[in-house]
């Protein structure tokens, strides 16, 4: 199958994945307590909807769908970059503790502020980024070795440990809250497209768009970093400088996504892996395919979560974990087998 996809026109395959995303977009708009037919959706989107229909589509479902798509793109692109610069197939912003570092700052911010004004919505990603950057600095400093440089396996293990520690701290904070705050943050921690509205779309959109554009411009550098530090340096790449800037972009994408969705586990792992298996490792095609794959995963998880037990909801993070955990175990097994063969 891998050989077959390599023989096909990868850009046509990219367009096919975009078509799947568009189809899922309309399925997600239709899904819910009040189903709306395809023709009615087109009529409402064209401006011919009644007041109740406009409320359901434009105020409730559409912002949630847009946020799910943006969040999926952010996490998947972040995971793609982390896997590229560490050359570790298990690298993921969730597993490395970056999501948790951003999340604890969001929890503290929400606990102190209580409600979000438009100013709070716009500044929240900056606070989230500070938490994620602090976590990344700690993770990098304890994972690097003087003689051997950055140990990617050690990076993952330290990230899991940091994530567990931060989650424990977050649980302690949550237990001190009143019932309303506790219920909200419990759902948010599980990974939910919470409080979806256009203000959150406005706060998230610039981060995802700018981060995506920057990574597309750095596609060539990402390709060169995949071959190793020494060879990349010999080809004229400023390895340390490029790694730091790309790591900052990956952290920023993950941190901004965490602010509106909580920590959606395994999206940053599963999205890049599926994309790489289908279109290869050239980042010129891999990055846009990663973005679309991540968007499909999160939108699918959110749609399943809000329809499978309707009118109740299952947080998208739980659905994503159910989809991603078996794949993560598979990767661990195959990664260990490959290391045994190398020895």
Q: How far apart are CA 160 and CA 233, in angstroms?
A: 30
Query: What CA–CA distance (Å, rounded) separates 248 from 14?
Result: 27
Residues 1, 18: Cα–Cα separation, whole Å: 20
Distances (CA, A) of 27 to 21, 30, 62, 70, 144: 10, 5, 12, 17, 46
Element housing 145 (H / E): strand 144-145
Within a domain: 90: yes
Report the CATH number at residue 137: 1.10.3470.10
Residue 90 has a pLDDT of 78
Number of domains in the chain: 1
> In whole angstroms, what is the distance from residue 77 CA to residue 223 CA?
15
Residue 4 lies in a domain: no
Q: How many whole angstroms separate alpha carbon 140 and alpha carbon 318?
A: 28
- Is 289 within 8 Å of 295 (Cβ atoms)? no
- The single residue listed with the structure tokens 């768009």 is 209
Q: What is the CA radius of gyration of the chain?
A: 20
Report which secondary-structure segment, H or E, holds 206. helix 198-217
The answer to whether the peptide bond before residue 9 is cis (omega within 30 degrees of 0) is no
pLDDT at site 148: 59
Distances in whole angstroms, Cα of residue 56 to Cα of each of 130, 207, 319? 35, 27, 24
The pLDDT score that the predictor gives to residue 338 is 56
CA-CA distance, 288 to 275, in Å (whole number)? 9
How many Cα atoms are found within 13 Å in the side-chain-facing hemisphere of 328? 17
Q: Could you give the CA distance from residue 250 to residue 175 in angstroms, rounded to a whole number?
A: 31
Integer Cα distance of 314 and 270 in angstroms: 20
Domain assignment present for residue 70? The answer is yes
What's the rounded Cα separation, in Å, for the pair 83 and 228?
A: 13
Domain presence at residue 342: no
- Determine the pLDDT at residue 291: 95
| pLDDT < 50 positions in the chain | 1-5, 7, 118, 340
Helix (H) or strand (E) holding 150: strand 149-150
The two three-digit tokens of residue 76, written as one number: 């998947």
Bridge partners for 145 per DSSP: 149
Phi, psi (deg, nearest 5) at residue 126: -70, -45
C-beta separation of 155 from 88 below 8 A: yes
Range of the domain at 316: 10-335
Instruction: Assess contact for 239 and 249: CB atoms under 8 A.
Output: no
Other beta carbons less than 10 A from residue 262's beta carbon: 26
For residues 64 and 196, the answer to whether their CB atoms sit within 8 Å is yes
Q: Which residue is listed with tokens 């190793």?
A: 228
């Amino acid at each position: 199958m891998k050989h077959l996809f390599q023989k096909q026109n990868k850009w046509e395959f990219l367009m096919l994945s975009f078509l799947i995303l568009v189809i899922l977009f309309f399925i997600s708009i239709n899904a819910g307590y009040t189903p709306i037919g395809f023709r009615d959706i087109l009529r409402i989107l064209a401006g011919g909807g009644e007041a109740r229909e406009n409320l359901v589509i434009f105020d409730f479902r559409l912002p949630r769908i847009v946020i799910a798509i943006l969040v999926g793109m952010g996490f998947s692109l972040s995971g793609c970059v982390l896997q590229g610069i560490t050359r570790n197939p298990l690298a993921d912003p969730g597993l490395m503790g970056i999501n948790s570092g951003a999340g604890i700052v969001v929890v503290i911010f929400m606990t102190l502020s209580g409600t979000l004004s438009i100013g709070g919505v716009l500044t929240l990603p900056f606070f989230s980024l500070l938490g994620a950057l602090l976590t990344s600095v700690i993770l990098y400093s304890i994972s690097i070795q003087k003689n051997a440089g950055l140990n990617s396996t050690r990076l993952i293990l330290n990230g899991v440990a940091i994530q567990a520690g931060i989650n424990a701290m977050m649980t302690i904070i949550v237990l001190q809250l009143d019932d309303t705050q506790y219920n909200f943050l419990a759902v948010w921690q599980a990974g939910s497209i919470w409080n979806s509205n256009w203000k959150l779309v406005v706060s998230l959109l610039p981060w995802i768009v700018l981060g995506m554009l920057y990574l597309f411009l750095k596609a060539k550098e990402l390709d060169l970093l995949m071959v190793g530090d020494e060879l990349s340096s010999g080809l004229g790449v400023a390895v340390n400088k490029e790694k730091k800037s790309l790591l900052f972009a990956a952290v920023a994408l993950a941190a901004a996504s965490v602010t509106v969705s909580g920590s959606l586990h395994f999206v940053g792992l599963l999205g890049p892996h599926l994309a790489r298996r289908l279109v290869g490792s050239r980042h010129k095609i891999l990055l846009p395919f990663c973005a679309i794959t991540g968007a499909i995963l999160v939108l699918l998880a959110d749609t399943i979560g809000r329809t499978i037990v309707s009118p109740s909801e299952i947080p998208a993070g739980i659905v994503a974990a159910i989809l991603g955990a078996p794949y993560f175990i598979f990767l661990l097994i195959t990664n260990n087998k490959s290391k045994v063969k190398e020895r």
